[in-house]
Amino acid sequence: MKKIICIVSFFCIATFSAFSQGYRNPIISGMAPDPSVCRVGDDYYLVTSSFIQNPALPIYHSKDLINWKLINYAVTDENGLDLSKGEGMYAPTIRYNPHDSTFYVICTNVGGGQNFIVHSKHPDSTWSKPVWLTNPRMGIDPSLFFEDDGTCYMQCTGDNNIIQIMIDPKTGEEISSFHYLTDGLGGRYPEGPHMYKVGNYYYLMISEGGTEFGHHVNLFRSDDIWGPFMPAPNNPILSHVGKNAQSNPIQCTGHADMIQAHDGSWWMVFLATRPILWAFYPLGRETFLAPVEWKNGWLTVNGNGTVTEEMNVKTLPQNSEISISQRKNSVRVIYGFEHGISNDWNAYRVSPQTVATKVSEGIEIKASNDYDAFIGVRQLDYYMDAEIKLEIADWEGEAGICVHHDDGKRYNLALVRENGKAFIKSECLFNSVNQVQTIEIESKTHVVYLKINSQKELYKFYWKYDNSSKDNVWREIGQMDAHFLAGGFSGLLVGPYVKKGKATINWCSFKYY
């Protein structure tokens, strides 16, 4: 079987306004849920959930809390954590302990070993192998708090409540027994605990209401880290559940973490969604930012506990260096693959290097008998063009581009050759439903272009012949409702795939507006 030569280009449309004062939410667009943040000097580090994406637990760096650059992953093949089983990485927390100058990330690998800790002196370098916390009382959403003397406390969900224990973060050894902290304030699924010390008080922040439209954040405080904890008089401190935010384009606000900036100001990062037609958000849960103010020992978030897309507030001096995959200002970036696969790319369960290898022309993606081969980057906004150029030779197989939610939900657009014939195929895979449209094309043509066009609520599929031919017209071959790619915890990846055979990708081009 000969190779399929593929040239892929993506065009994602987003908007961004850069101010010396003010910023636009979300600060990390596309799938970036459950953010956690820490600071060392004027450097900020943030981690998010990644589920079954590999590499896992992306680590971002920023100088201003607004512009973030993807610098590493806390879990890769190098530190030996197996993502082939379970539901993946949920709700990590990142913390820095000045007593040993070490960064720690604690997370739950749901169904695949549960809670673990990795550590590193340098977040952009290799992280340690995982230390597993095997006590069955430990639920999801673990967090770490380092006391002034370096003592480490872990908070997590218990039996529909929040519990705490002292541990050694390097070994996982339990130093105390578990201690009950709170049941929350009556919302379902009290979760996402984080502990802070401000002045003479310990503050416990949790989320309740689930991670959907009832999501909100509550705050408690105590003069003892073991409690009892008193609820804030203005709870919930962050919520878009009420009437004052019912028409806000941002919803599902919750799972928050706080940080004091190097200028003394306070900020909160949290997940939220940008729904389409109210109840659906195919992009998944993204990372948002809000200012925090303290008064009389309690805090308010952005004045009234809600946020907007355009935040006209005083910020840290803004730094324009951000990750290619997170750019929202006008820019065009070309991936040449001369040096292999950059860290913007992900695969599912296996690493991108498992399904894609460096070759002289670029990278070669090869499918196996067990799974389709796919690598992708996060879809950053609802308005997007994704194009692929296929140079046709004498081969049989299937290769193209897809918008991928999970193994049961994806939209494919492909060139298929079988039995000496060539077809363009658009395909909607939605669990047990498989909707396919095909059109036969000239089997001897030299080049075919494919395009997936996203218009928020709709994906449209197009194809055409070589740009140099007389027949250079985009032809539509089906359209799919975006709602079928919504739901669950994950968001969307977009990229090339191979179902049969193998394909070589020379370069990819991304353009954001």
Which are the catalytic amino acids?
A: 34, 191
Query: Under 8 Å CB-to-CB from 52, ≥6 apart: which residues?
Result: 83, 87, 88, 348, 349, 406
Q: Running DSSP on this structure, what letter comes out for residue 352?
A: H
| Distance of alpha carbon 287 from alpha carbon 31, whole angstroms | 8
| Distance of alpha carbon 416 from alpha carbon 389, whole angstroms | 13
What b/e sequence results for 30-60 when a residue is b if at least 16 CB atoms lie within 10 Å of its CB, and e otherwise?
Answer: bbbbbbbbbbeeeebbbbbbbbbbbbbbbbb
Degrees to nearest 5, angle at CA 305 with 300 and 306: 145
Tell me the CB-side half-sphere exposure of residue 476, using CA atoms within 13 A: 6
| Distance of alpha carbon 255 from alpha carbon 274, whole angstroms | 16
Peptide bond preceding 352: is omega within 30 degrees of 0, i.e. cis? no
| H/E run at residue 355 | helix 352-355
What b/e sequence results for 146-173 when a residue is b if at least 16 CB atoms lie within 10 Å of its CB, and e otherwise?
Answer: beeeebbbbbbbbeebbbbbbbebeebe
